[in-house]
Amino acid sequence: MIVARTIAVASQKGGVGKTTTVASLGVALAELGEEVLLVDLDPQACLTFSLGLDPELLQLALPDVLAGRVGLRDVITATEEGVDLVPSTIALAQSEAAMLTGDASEYVLKRALVSVLDHYDWILLDCPPTLGVLTVNALTAADEVLVPLQCETLAHRGVGQVVETVLAVTQVSNPRLRILGVLPTMYDSRTAHARAVLADIAGRYDMPVLDPPIPRSVRFAEAPALGRSVLSTSPGIRGVEAYRTHAQWLLAAARVEPSR
């Protein structure tokens, strides 16, 4: 029986490539024949918008699931990219506030995902740029955490905060959670600063730094305006090839270690 491998893509800093990474890895895995579900956990709904849906026009979305009004299957939407999506809306901010007052609030997403775990090979969770209750829900539901890192000092400082949050979650709600690694994004190998940040991360934290890094390209910023992933809009750029390499690595690793 298929049991989805669930990866949370998390960083407390915005603008480091979380949404791009979720969309690109998800579509790259779908290109390899995998069944993929993407979950937009950000009230800004950037992943939803990036895959061609208008959050303001949605009748049902993730906030309705977290509030218990509908099941997860009721909001799953197929996209033109070959992946399924659990969309988000701005109402997710209200859901987060409500969850803070509930019992066992960190398990809400995990319980919702149970109904679809045997329908997908991969579930990728696009976390908001905070380490609040929505991100804790993602970490509680996930098998692994992928940390995108823009190779700049401020983004670098946030890696330690993510590590601390992951350790806290393993002690309270998800002891099997592990860090898959740091994925360098928006990387410019021509700058000494980017190279220095990357080298420091490798030496400072006890976690893999995934290779190849994702090169900086304006094509990543252009794709969401078209409602498509960059794999569709600019399939030949080096960044897309890097994401495809990481998808192939994930698939190979899952075949070696299929049990969760």
Q: How many CB atoms lie within 10 A of CB 105?
A: 17
- 140-183 pLDDT, tens per residue? 999 999 999 887 766 666 788 888 999 999 999 999 999 999 99
Residue 10 and residue 136 in contact, taking contact as beta carbons nearer than 8 Å: no
Q: Which of 43-57, 120-134, 195-209 shows the lowest per-residue confidence on average (mean pLDDT)?
A: 195-209
Which amino acid, residue 112? A
| Total domains, the chain | 1
Host domain of residue 76:
5-256
CATH number, domain containing residue 204: 3.40.50.300
Full-model pTM: 0.94
214, two tokens: 């994702």
DSSP assignment string, 46-73: HHHHHTT--GGG-SS-HHHHHTTSS-GG
